[in-house]
Amino acid sequence: MNSYQPTRRTFLNDLGLGIGSIAAASMLQQDAPAAVPASMRRLAPKAKSVIWLFMIGGTSHMESFDPKPALTKYAGMTVDETPFKGVLESPYLENERVVAFDPNNGFIRNELYPLQVSYRRWGESGLEISDWWPHVAQQADDLCLVRSVWTEDSNHGAQLQFHTGRHRIDGFFPTIGAWANYGLGSLNENLPEFVVMGTPVADCCGGQEAHRANYLGPQYDGVPLNLDPANPLPYAKPPKGVYQEEQIGEFDLLRKLNGITAEQYPDDDAIRARIRSYELAFRMQMAVPDIVRFDDETQETQSQYGLDQKETKPFGQQMLAARRLVERGVRFVQVYHGSNGGAGQWDAHKGLKSSHTKLCRQVDQPIGALLADLKQRGLLDETLVVWASEFGRTPGSQHANGRDHHPYGFTVWMAGGGIKGGIAHGATDEIGFHAVEDRHYVTDIHATLLHQLGLNPRELVIPGRKRLEKDFGEPIHDVIA
């Protein structure tokens, strides 16, 4: 008979054993994760993985993927002085909800501001894409531009809303990455299913809630990854003074204690979840450093991603790591760009031309390289790449050379993963104000993504957690190949 008979509380509290916790420290909380219903019906998947690229601050749709020459034609005029004054009377304006009123931003700017960049047609499809995105544009025949997305929040609470589908006023909810993690099985037991790179959105705009699982349980949170091979998982490394050999011994002891405690608490989900977290932390310490070591990549590949240029290297490393992660079976890779501790670098209230030119140079080549590399390796068919920002920018000017927040119509694009390429779906009006054709709330993007992964969003329901109709969204069937 074993003499070791800890209480549940003692076991959970003592389980650390000096072992470094997993990167997502909240995974080690005592909350039991939500279980995937055994009855959940699955669809035939067309994609295995998702790479989710999020530009923080609000990228101008009109200077990126949705050309509006009328802005230049009527530049300097108020909306009322143009043939488009009806946009100010649209019932779509009633959808707006704001977490906190900002007396300086989030207004309809009435004086039209001309386009700050030229457009050209790309590829056999002839998709129009701005000259600020030449490398992405070279992959035009694989892109699906959804030009009719809308959201509710005209301030940066929209950053969190884009990831959860719910307004910040309503509270915190699981993110799209967490739902994918929850609904899918792991393809690689040595790596987390949901990985996050880049500095997340600021706390004022939702912070790490933009990659957390909330009531699904911390097991489904995104795991932050650094691009430092010596320290890729800062919270998962052994404590100072503890060598790997010691940690292996600690995990062996942990497994023995697990066996003993399983007899005492055979149905305790919290204990099982915490043990899985520690075991995953150890396996990750072995597997993850190889992800962010690029020694086995050719110089040509590294140059393709921009690793030999100061301007493109940081995001290029993240894109190359994203490819290596999905190559090894990681289900959901979320990459942030443009965090600055506030609203985000893409938030071009002034100096739009200079700021967007700079930011596009940082990300365009790496994203274009990612798409081309995935395709060359035969991975694009099974990897869905999604590019988004929380909203677009106003047709009117702010501070003479910028644009304000604009939730009423903007662009999200997708590529690969069974999505049609070389198409533009939906449309905004002639000045880019409202999404008017095939309108899609942000959860339609979520639903399309889940559908391609083989998940029916309406099956993703937790007992006792009511979801609203708009939470589910509808897959955009017109863009599915």
State the pLDDT at residue 100. 64
Give the predicted TM-score (pTM) of the model: 0.88
State the pLDDT at residue 30. 35
State the pLDDT at residue 267. 73
Looking at residue 152, its amino acid is: E
Give how far the C-alpha of residue 157 lies from the chain's centroid of Cα atoms, to the nearest Å. Answer: 15
Tell me: the pLDDT tens digits for 326-376?
999 999 999 999 999 999 999 999 999 999 999 999 999 999 999 999 999
State the pLDDT at residue 134. 99
State the pLDDT at residue 17. 39
Tell me: the pLDDT tens digits for 429-456?
999 999 999 999 999 999 999 999 999 9
The beta-strand segments (E) located in 74-230 are 119-122, 127-130, 143-150, 194-197, 223-224
Looking at residue 1, its amino acid is: M
State the pLDDT at residue 199. 93
Answer yes or no: is pLDDT of 22 > 80.
Answer: no
3-state secondary structure of 181: helix
Burial of 90 (0-12, 13-18, 19+ CB in 10 A): middle
Looking at residue 311, its amino acid is: E
Tell me: the pLDDT tens digits for 363-412?
999 999 999 999 999 999 999 999 999 999 999 999 999 999 999 999 99
- Which CATH code, of 1.10.12, 3.40.720, 3.40.50, 3.30.70, is assigned to 8-31+57-479? 3.40.720
Higher pLDDT, 75 or 38: 75
pLDDT tier at 273 (50, 70, 90 boundaries)? Answer: low
Nearest-angstrom CA–CA distance, 138 and 167: 35
The phi and psi torsions of 49 (rounded to 5 degrees) equal: -140, 160
HSE toward the beta carbon, residue 263, CA cutoff 13 A = 11
What would the mean pLDDT of 178-199 be, rounded to a whole number?
A: 92
Answer yes or no: is pLDDT of 12 > 60.
Answer: no
Residue 18 sits at the vertex; the CA angle it makes with 14 and 24, to the nearest 5 degrees, is 90
Q: What share of the chain is helix, strand, coil (3-state, %, to 5)?
A: 40, 15, 45
